Chain A
Amino acid sequence: MKKALWILAVILWCLFLAFSLFFSYRPGEIIGKHFLTFGGRLLGLLPPAFVLIGLFHVWIKQDTIMKHMGHEAGLKGHLWAILLSSSILGGLPVALPVAMAIYSKGATLAVAFTFLSASCVCRVPMTIFEASFLGIPFTLVRWGVSLPLIVLSSYTIARIMGDEILPGKDLNQ
């Protein structure tokens, strides 16, 4: 049932793009162009990103992640998560599977949430862009205010979720 709905949606989307092209419907043409360029850019990032995630799964020992990002790591685990998140390229779509990889290997829920939100705040390529157009003070204030709040909110969210296991967790580690 769900699969049928999905196929129907894909057909409708293709029809919409085809009709827009055929009848020169402007909004449809622009949306189609964005679909190709935006999708192309994201899909270009995904193969190497997922290869790295695969290598991580195979080579990194669960003990290592548990020690540095697990329950006994405390605040240090969050620092590691922030550091790691700054290297992410491509935003949330790439950060999500990476967060799930470290979470599946034994990072706490709070650390996984910190990693995700921090990846939105301190990705290096994005930050360089921001600082060059809006100035370094702008970036420094933003970091100084958001990062502590992100860690705080991650603890709170993890507390509310309790022992709940996220659907993205890979259970056969």
Chain B
Amino acid sequence: MSAWNVIILYSVSLILLTISFIANKRKTKAALKKALEEFLKLARPFCFFIVLAAISLYFFSEERISDLLGQKNAFSDIILAALLGSVAALPGFIAFPMAGVLRGLGVAWSVIAAFTNSLMLVGVLTFPLERRVLGTKGALMRNIACFAIAVVAAVAIGLVLGDWF
């Protein structure tokens, strides 16, 4: 699954690069230069992000998160789950199967949703990277807004899928 995406991404960019090269060599050269420039601008925050993610993966491993979220069904646990999702770095292909297992164990839909929503939407770990591009104020506002959205969507999922009624 994950490998196929990468193969598609490489194929698409290679095909487009070839078409661009046939159409206009000078422009293609400029595009590659631009690509490198853009990458170098973000290289340092990228490295910093990888270090933060590695540390987070140790402290908030799959097992640890499973333990913390297990048997959680109270309304207040939604916030705990959302906070956990904000600082975790689990990739989707680990987080979603884990969420499926947690559901099997009887964890509330809303708690699971709060975790996966904020895992995707809120980036405490990507903050140094986001700050470079959006500015501190912009990055802060986006993350706070997205935290609220993650919680609201989790409550809605709980309501629709029957957590409380």
Residues of A in contact with B (beta carbons under 8 Å apart): 6, 10, 13, 27, 30-32, 34-35, 38-39, 41-42, 44-46, 48-55, 57-59, 89, 91-93, 96-97, 99-101, 113, 116-117, 120-121, 125-126, 128-130, 132-134, 137-138, 141-142, 144-146, 149-150, 153, 156-157, 160-161, 164, 166-168
Contact = CB atoms under 8 A, between A and B. Distances in A.
A42 to B, nearest CB: 6
Given A120-B146, A134-B103, A45 B9 contact: yes
B133 interface: yes
Interface in B1-54: 1-2, 5-6, 9-10, 12-14, 16-17, 20, 27-28, 30-36, 38-39, 42, 44, 46-47, 49-51, 53-54
Contacts of A93: 46, 49, 126, 129
A51 B117 CA distance: 30
17 contacts: A35-B54, A38-B53, A38-B89, A44-B6, A48-B13, A50-B38, A54-B30, A54-B34, A58-B20, A58-B27, A92-B130, A120-B146, A130-B92, A142-B153, A142-B157, A153-B148, A157-B142
Pick the 8 closest A-B CB pairs, nearest first. Answer: A54-B35, A168-B133, A48-B13, A133-B100, A35-B54, A54-B31, A153-B145, A34-B54
A149 B152 contact: yes
Contacts of A41: 91
B86 to A, nearest CB: 12
Interface string B101-116: 0010000010011001
Given A49-B9, A92-B126, A120-B146, A133 B121 contact: no
Contacts of B134: 166-168
A138 B33 contact: no
B101 to A, nearest CB: 9
Given A30-B58, A93-B46, A133-B97, A138 B157 contact: yes
A131 B3 CA distance: 19
Instruction: Give the size category of B's interface with A.
Output: 35 or more
A145 B13 CA distance: 33
Nearest to B55: A31
Given A146-B149, A166-B133, 9 more contacts: A31-B57, A31-B58, A54-B35, A55-B20, A92-B130, A96-B42, A126-B120, A145-B156, A153-B146
Interface string B69-100: 00000000000000000000101110011011
A134 B146 contact: no
A8 B20 CA distance: 42
Given A134-B99, A146-B117, A141 B156 contact: yes
Contact of B117 (A49, A116, A142): A142
Given A39-B54, A121-B120, A125-B1, A51 B156 contact: no
B54 A38 contact: yes
